[in-house]
Structure 1
Amino acid sequence: MKADDTRRRIVEAADRLFYERGFETTSFADIAQAVALSRGNFYYHFKTKDEILSEVIECRIAERRQLLSRWDEQETNPRLRIENFINILIVNQTKIMAFGCPVGTLCTELAKLDHALQGEAARLFQLFAGWLEKQFAQLGCGSASHDLAMHLLMRSQGVATLANTFRDADFVRREVDAMIFWLNTQIPDATSCS
């Protein structure tokens, strides 16, 4: 059990460091230091940084699935579920202003590096896009559901990027309000979408 606990601590530290510093600039030594392990003990658990990255991606996917499941369980109204997604910008505002969106920054960095795990990281966006599309479909948006989901995902990423750039909490609040207004204009009565 101790080895599993150590491995979990390594992945948690790597996840945090990849988010705060970026994947490319985070070294084995940085991660080992964060969990107070010698490099030899560290290599017992992970031989390459890509192995750690793969596990970080899987953990992020599992955490996001749990979040989406919790929203599905807590709220029966799909419009309010979508508002939960939008409001995540407020809930995580401090971290987003400091480091950007954990999904967007990782996917962007791996794309720039043309990294082999870029497609795996993209599953994070696919998870959100699919979930949003399902919510719009439940609101009766039919064939427009995919486009609406992608529009909202794009807009939330833009807000996260600009929040990180300008570090303006008022901007984030205004944009969240604007996205909720947009949502309500797109779905005025849950039977029509444009």
Structure 2
Amino acid sequence: MTNSVNRRQQASQKRRRLTAAAARVLHEQGVERTTLADIAREADVPVGNVYYYFKTKDELVLAALAEHSAHLDELTAALDRLADPRDRLKALVEGWIAQRDTAARYGCPTGTLAVELDKRADGTLDAEAGTVIRRLLDWAARQFRALALPDPDDLALTLVCGYQGMSLMAGALRDPSVMTREGARLLAWLDSLPAPRGTSAG
């Protein structure tokens, strides 16, 4: 029984390493350039073992998207511990700025993947990537709604478009300072939005 439990734990850990490796490698290299061997090497797993957990590269792409979704859930759960919705939004932007070097090299993990998948003929995985971005939009809209601001969905779209745009430009120009400068604009924009009635901006 103990050996069986250990084997299941080892298998679970190996699958987890492969999933995390897929998220990293696909972000850095893109779907078309990435091979199963690349992911196996990053996960320190024999390439033959990959097929035990994932039959195709598309299954690994789905696993990577699930990893991005889980990371987003962890991030927003941490942000939700802040009392003020505006502070949550600003902390999100500050987190984006902190990732400026990565963004300048590879772009937004989910955004770049969504763009690449959208160009494929089958049109199935791009919808999964869009689902992750939708989760971020929905979370941001809830914060704007908590601030009692009009058009919270549109404000969320403005915020996330700002992030995607500055990630794209930072990557295109290989210039992390784009993230710093445009992130500062987003922070100033968030500060400029009206405070909820009955509260002060300070």
- TM-score, length-normalised on structure 2? 0.87
Residue 165 (1) aligns with residue 196 (2):
no
Structure 1: unaligned runs, 5 residues or longer = none
Structure 2: unaligned runs, 5 residues or longer = 1-8, 198-202
Give the whole-Å Cα distance in 2 for the aligned partners of 1:29 and 1:60.
Answer: 21
Alignment equivalent of 1:83, drawn from 87, 90, 97 = 90
Alignment equivalent of 2:64, drawn from 56, 59, 75 = 56
Give the whole-Å Cα distance in 2 for the aligned partners of 1:23 and 1:55.
Answer: 13
1:13, CA displacement in angstroms?
A: 1.3
1:57, CA displacement in angstroms?
A: 1.1
Aligned residues: 188
Partner in structure 2 of residue 17 of structure 1 = 25
What is the RMSD of the two structures over their aligned residues, measured on CA atoms?
A: 1.5
Alignment equivalent of 2:39, drawn from 31, 35, 38 = 31
1:169, CA displacement in angstroms?
A: 3.1
Partner in structure 2 of residue 141 of structure 1 = 149
Residue aligned with 1:26, SS = coil
1:110, CA displacement in angstroms?
A: 0.8
Give the whole-Å Cα distance in 1 for the aligned partners of 2:14 and 2:133.
Answer: 29
Give the letter for the 2:184 counterpart. Answer: D
1:102, CA displacement in angstroms?
A: 0.5
Partner in structure 2 of residue 154 of structure 1 = 161
| TM superposition outliers: structure 1 runs of 4+ over 4 Å | none
Moved more, 32-41 or 99-108: 32-41
Residue aligned with 1:11, SS = helix
- Note if contact 2:114-2:126 (Cα within 8 Å) is conserved in structure 1: yes
